[in-house]
Amino acid sequence: MSEQQKKARTLVGVVSSDRMDKTVTVLVERKVKHPLYGKVMRRSTKIMAHDENNECRTGDTVTIQECRPISRHKAWKVREVLERAAEV
């Protein structure tokens, strides 16, 4: 593993869309404390990530890693699938 791969940020999220070719949309949730009232709130961000082998499906829990910009909206790539979604 190179020096840059060690420094790259990683996040865990749930795949919300897999309709694009080699791209998935990952919903990443975080908890933020309200600055005035102190209530802990859930905030979410949708991140487009590169999925080279089209292996992710909607509902999968994945780890994504920051990388060089691949396209206008993609600067993350799927590192691994942590948990598969239940088949319906």
For 30-67, what is each residue's pLDDT tens digit?
999 999 999 999 999 999 999 999 999 999 999 999 99
Helix (H) or strand (E) run with residue 3 in it: helix 3-7
Beta strands 40-50; 76-83: pairing state: parallel
Rounded-to-integer distance, Cα 13 and Cα 68, Å: 20
The angle subtended at Cα 49 by Cα 62 and Cα 52, nearest 5°, is 85
CA distance 24 to 28: 12
Please say if the pLDDT value at position 21 is more than 70. Answer: yes
pTM of this structure = 0.87
Note the pLDDT tens digit of each residue in 61-77: 999 999 999 999 999 99
CA distance 41 to 57: 28
Q: Name the CATH superfamily for 3-83.
A: Nucleic acid-binding proteins (2.40.50.140)
